[in-house]
Amino acid sequence: MSIDFKGRVAIVTGAGGGLGKQHALALARSGAKVLVNDLGGAVDGSGGSVSAAQAVVDEIRAAGGEAMANGASVTDFAAVQAMVQQAVDAWGRVDILVNNAGILRDKSFAKMDIADFRLVMDVHVMGAVHCTKAVWPVMVAQKYGRIVMTTSSSGLYGNFGQANYGAAKMALVGLMQTLSIEGAKNDIRVNCLAPTAATRMTEGLMPEDVLRALDPAAVVPAMLVMASQDAPTRTVLCAGAGTFEAAHITLTQGVHIGTGAHVPGELAARLAEVTDRAGEMVPQSGSAQGANEVSKAQARVQAAA
């Protein structure tokens, strides 16, 4: 399948380096006009300069592409709205949003300052919310949009010292679940990317030989697929070192136990049945959980009648 972005306009946040830079370069090489956003701060979010974003823009232009820089902080909704307007004013539309901006403030939960927890949540979660909220009316009006959230294995599966980061990254999966449902009628497809890549944010967290294997460019194909015209929606793609997987939030078939004083003890005794993954499903919406529970309760009543 050929992936072509000619005529498309993309915004990539946190694109001054690392994975975001690779996203921006790849979109531009495939024909997209790219707004390169980066605050230009340190890994922990301190400082800021538009020079990092401008350097990527210069690289895109030198290769014959079309791009412009933006230094807005994704935590500033007014600045984000102005960023989206910048793209619309220049190119008339926004087709693709890659929410990639992020920071780290790693520490064990016991030692973590609450301000560090809040800031990581603000950048990752509210940053993505701000950018998505700003592009949403544009995408609704043009009845087309592709949004990629950047989640993480730390959110999906946990990682020591990253309670704040993991909570933020899993929140983005929840955001994607609902937005993919709400956006469907206007062909707005929303997905999540869980990358494993060597960037400034992973320095010191992995051995050098592992870092060398985790070229950020190897993750980019997953983003291109999720940003393309034929993209899936409500999908979590994992990518690293040339390997691609999909992560799912599943629901087991479960067991109807009923109500009453006996339930806690019986639930404890039958917990292995409840968690048995045989026949598990991926619900199409949150209401499927309730539907499964009610159907089993009704079946028990009918069986007893």
Summarize pLDDT for 59-91 with one digit per residue, the tens.
999 999 999 999 999 999 999 999 999 999 999
pLDDT-derived band at 269 (thresholds 50, 70, 90) equals: very high
pLDDT of res. 198: 73
Q: Among candidates 146, 224, 129, which has minimal Cα distance to 184?
A: 146
For residue 229, give both structure tokens: 């015209």
**Average pLDDT for the chain:** 93
For residue 80, give both structure tokens: 């984000």
For residue 128, give both structure tokens: 């993505």
pLDDT-derived band at 47 (thresholds 50, 70, 90) equals: low
pLDDT of res. 48: 53
- Residues annotated as catalytic (active site), given as ranges: 165
What does the pLDDT average to over 156-172? Answer: 97
What are 272's strand-pairing partners? none
- Give the three-class secondary structure for 239: strand
pLDDT of res. 49: 60
In this structure, are residues 146 and 193 in contact, taking their beta carbons and an 8 Å threshold? no
User: How close are the terminal C-alpha atoms of the chain, in Å?
Assistant: 56
Domain limits, the chain: 9-247, 263-304
pTM for this entry: 0.93
Question: Does 279 score more than 90 pLDDT?
Answer: yes
Residue-wise DSSP of 166-230: HHHHHHHHHHHHHHHHHHGGGTEEEEEEEE---STTTTTTS-HHHHHH--GGGTHHHHHHHHSTT
Among 205-209, 276-280, 287-291, name the one with the lowest average pLDDT.
205-209
pLDDT (tens digit per residue) in 4-46: 999 999 999 999 999 999 999 999 999 999 999 999 856 655 5
Residue 37: its H or E element: strand 33-37
Place of tokens 């539907």: 291
pLDDT (tens digit per residue) in 88-146: 999 999 999 999 999 999 999 999 999 999 999 999 999 999 999 999 999 999 999 99
What does the pLDDT average to over 45-66? Answer: 86
- Please, what CATH class does the domain formed by 9-247 belong to? alpha beta
Angle, to 10 degrees, between the axis of helix 18-29 and the axis of helix 220-227? 50
